[in-house]
Structure 1
Amino acid sequence: MTFDPDRASALLFDSYSTLVDVEAAERALAERVDEPEPVSDLWRARSLEYTMVANHVDAYQPFYEMNRDALQYALDATDADISADERDEILAVYHELDVFDDVREGLEALIEAGYDCYVLSNGNPEMLESLVDHADIGDLVADTISADEVETFKPHVDLYRHAAERVGEPVEQLAHVTALWFDVMGAQHAGMQGVWVDRKGDPPETFGPEPDLTIETFHDLVTALEA
């Protein structure tokens, strides 16, 4: 698909893996378990699976709680012997994740070019507040939009349409920037343009439509919007 800069009157950004690096969670695990990588991978996968299932079985709970339940499952499944207090210390890392190096400069350039930038995330409001504060991007983000507001997670169409209402623009005039393939598809299904942030050089998905634009850093997005 082809990205159309004229259809991007405002920009939405996913939070985890897009603005901030969730791999810090693996480092927190490494201090407490012998093999952190499989625990971290299972934790992240289960967390996303729980949100998607919750959309269909009326089992919403705030993302922080979803993440806690997923972490507990990952610890149980890998026979990691740690206490509930230690689990909660690992979980708290989500309040202090490191921002990617290109984010601040990229957002600054986008704002200078006239774009309002929003965060659209599964994270509940408390998580997003700490994310913005820790990343020091409060002066660059027009607002944060949480799945908690509609009690529906990505990639459900209702969340993207809610975001458009919050922004005050037609859904077709928004571009959603995310490192998550299913988030790209969810945004596109709702009528937005989907921008995939491929920081690791992963292969494209073989299922579903192609992203409207694939970028490696936020600087690439600035270039595309100036084209």
Structure 2
Amino acid sequence: MSFDPDQVTTITFDSYSTIVDVDAAVRALANHVDDPEPVSSLWRLRSLEYTLVANYLDAYQPFYEMNRDALQYALDVFDVDVDEDERDEILAVYHELEVFDDVRDGIKRLREGGYDCYVVSNGDPDMLSSMIDHADIDDLLADTISADEVETFKPAAELYRHAAARTGTPIDEIVHVTAGWYDVMGAKHAGMQGAWVDRKGRPWEAVAGEPDLTVDSFYDLADALGV
């Protein structure tokens, strides 16, 4: 399927890796770990895997708790001995991750072009509130929609369909914008158009098809929508 800009009336954005850079978490680890890169990579991987497993086992926990358990696992694997307070200090970096440079101006351009903009995320409400405050985009968003509302994580179709209902938009009039390949495919499977923001210059993981649109930034998305 090719991207149809004329079909789009509403835009939903992922949060982590799309609006804020989760790779920046490595700096929080640097104060506690001699070699933070592999710990950070395993932390992120396990965090995502835990959400996928939880969907199938009906074992939902808020994402913050999943993320905490994933961090503890990564620390254990690399024999990093930190106490609970130090672990929570590392975990708190998710409240102040670096914001990608194009985020505020890109979303503002889309809003001024007439599109309602939402965040749809695995993050729980407290995490999303702090992320949006840190990114300084609260005034540009119509609302935020959390997996916590349906206790189901991406890429389950239930969350995207819930998001469509919350926005009051027919699902085929939504383009979901995300840096996560699995999130693109989940949105497409549910009936949205899926736009991949290639934040890291990596190849597409063509497990279940292709994005409807690939962009390097939110500015490119605005160009594709003609605003």
TM exceeding 0.5: yes
Q: Which runs of 4+ in 1 moved over 4 A?
A: none
Mapped pair 1:22 → 2:53? no
Residue 26 of structure 1: how far off its partner (Å)? 0.6
Paired residue for 1:5? Answer: 5
State, as a whole percentage, how many aligned pairs show the same letter: 70
Give the superposed CA RMSD: 0.8
Q: Aligned letter for 1:162?
A: H
Indicate the SS of the match to 1:119.
Answer: strand
Paired residue for 1:104? Answer: 104
Equivalent-residue separation in structure 2 for 1:79 and 1:98 (angstroms): 27
Mapped pair 1:200 → 2:200? yes
Equivalent-residue separation in structure 1 for 2:204 and 2:22 (angstroms): 21
Residue 93 of structure 1: how far off its partner (Å)? 0.6
Equivalent-residue separation in structure 2 for 1:178 and 1:106 (angstroms): 14
Residue 164 of structure 1: how far off its partner (Å)? 0.2
Equivalent-residue separation in structure 2 for 1:186 and 1:87 (angstroms): 32
CA deviations on 1:105-148 (whole Å, 9 max, x unpaired) are: 10111011000100000000000000111111111111000000
Mapped pair 1:88 → 2:88? yes
Equivalent-residue separation in structure 1 for 2:99 and 2:204 (angstroms): 24
CA deviations on 1:189-219 (whole Å, 9 max, x unpaired) are: 0000000000221111131110000000100
Residue pairs, 1:73-152, within 5 angstroms: 73-152=73-152
Q: Aligned letter for 1:208?
A: A
Equivalent residue pairs, number: 227
Mapped pair 1:186 → 2:196? no
Q: Aligned letter for 2:32?
A: R
Equivalent-residue separation in structure 1 for 2:181 and 2:88 (angstroms): 28
Structure 1: gaps of 5 or more residues: none
Paired residue for 1:62? Answer: 62
Structure 2: gaps of 5 or more residues: none
Indicate the SS of the match to 1:3.
Answer: coil
Q: Aligned letter for 2:21?
A: D
Paired residue for 1:169? Answer: 169
Mapped pair 1:40 → 2:40? yes
Q: Aligned letter for 1:98?
A: E
TM-score between both structures, scaled by the size of structure 1: 0.98
Equivalent-residue separation in structure 1 for 2:130 and 2:177 (angstroms): 20
Mapped pair 1:155 → 2:160? no
Residue 22 of structure 1: how far off its partner (Å)? 1.1
